[in-house]
Amino acid sequence: MAIIEIQNLKKSFGKQEVLKQITFDVNKNDVVAVIGPSGSGKSTMLRSLVHLEKIDGGSIRVGGESLVQDGIYSKPQEIKRITSKMGMVFQHFNLFPHLSVKENLELAPRLVKKESSKDIQKRSTELLEKIGLSNRAASYPANLSGGQKQRVAIARALMMNPDILLFDEPTSALDPELTGEVLQVMKDLAKDQMTMIVVTHEMGFAKEVANKVIFMDDGEIVETAHPDKLFVSPQFERTRTFLNRSFK
């Protein structure tokens, strides 16, 4: 069953069309990897799902509810409710630098969720354990490595109990030797059946973890397939060219 339905998404920045008729579905428990060259519109597409970008035309439905229908957005309250089903992890982490790791995790649930403080603390303790950073609960982001920061950012998103987790190039700002620890956390999430959309340059991750790979180029989806198919026998020349360059 489709948990996200995207139809004919269109967006321009001035005269430049960055998204041209993007259409695809995401099913529950899918791990979708979105790959493609820089400037292909992958990040813009992802950001439009949580209303960080406004689209000019098309429809987005999440969990059967309409965020935007034929370019017309729902009421602000509806938008808030619908986007709150999704969590987002950013390339540059965007942790709150003035709060400790534990406070980063607990701030939003405390303000937004109607939960007891005890439940929130219990969850943050569990999540910190899950990402292997229990001993850093009192640290500030400035004292963490990039990989640790991104793991905290993932835990912070999970604190809101999202149905879907979006990743915008989660390892692109990391030193190569630190990407492994972040990808491991994401693999564990996939194993726990979390629905994920991952914009990434990590072909290895896409190959190993995703059950669906979308190749975007120049604002459109060129090819969508299971990784076994897309990486082994791509159907289009553009896909082949991109993959050849990526694996060189």
Partner 1 sequence: MSIDYILSILGPMLEGAQMTVLLFLVAIVISIPLGFLLMLAVRSSIKPLSWMAHTYIYVMRGTPLLLQLLFICFGLPMLPVVGEYLVFDRFVAACIGFILNYAAYFAEIFRGGVLAIDKGQYEAAQVLSMNKWQTTTRVILPQMFRIALPAVANESVTLVKDTALLYAVAVPELLHFAQTAVNRDFTIVPFLVAGIIYLIMTLLLTMFFKWLEQRFKFE
Token pair recorded at residue 75: 């009421």
Span interacting with partner 1, options 83-91, 123-131, 175-183, 211-219, rule CB under 8 A: 83-91
CA 173 to chain centre: 15
Residue 112 interacts with partner 1 (CB under 8 A)? yes
To the nearest whole angstrom, how small is the minimum distance from the Cβ of residue 185 to partner 1? 18
To the nearest whole angstrom, how small is the minimum distance from the Cβ of residue 105 to partner 1? 10
Residue 54 interacts with partner 1 (CB under 8 A)? no
- Beta partners for 11? 19
To the nearest whole angstrom, how small is the minimum distance from the Cβ of residue 84 to partner 1? 5
Strands 212-217 and 220-225: antiparallel
DSSP 46-64: HHHHTTSS--SEEEEEETT
Name the residue among 207, 236, 202 with its Cα closest to residue 221.
Answer: 236
Q: How many residues line the site for partner 1 (CB under 8 A)?
A: 27
Backbone angles phi, psi at 197, to 5 degrees: -120, 125
Summary count for the chain: helices (H), strands (E): 9, 11
Residue 243 interacts with partner 1 (CB under 8 A)? no
Residue 95 interacts with partner 1 (CB under 8 A)? yes
User: Which of 50, 174, 197, 213 is in the footprint of partner 1 by CB under 8 A?
Assistant: 50
User: Which of 69, 94, 193, 244 is in the footprint of partner 1 by CB under 8 A?
Assistant: 94
Token pair recorded at residue 140: 């500030």
Residue 87 interacts with partner 1 (CB under 8 A)? yes
User: Which of 28, 80, 122, 240 is in the footprint of partner 1 by CB under 8 A?
Assistant: 80
To the nearest whole angstrom, how small is the minimum distance from the Cβ of residue 111 to partner 1? 5
Which residue's CB is nearer to partner 1, number 17 or number 103? 103
Token pair recorded at residue 216: 């975007």
Task: Give the per-residue contact string, 130-169, with partner 1 (x = CB under 8 A; - = no).
Answer: ----------xxxx------------xx--x---------
Q: Report CA-CA distances (Å) from 238 to 73, 114, 136, 243.
A: 33, 49, 45, 9
192's enclosing H/E stretch is none
Are 51 and 26 in contact, with CB atoms under 8 Å apart? no
Residue 170 interacts with partner 1 (CB under 8 A)? no
- Interaction site with partner 1 (CB under 8 A): 50-52, 80, 83-84, 86-88, 90, 92, 94-98, 107-108, 111-112, 140-143, 156-157, 160
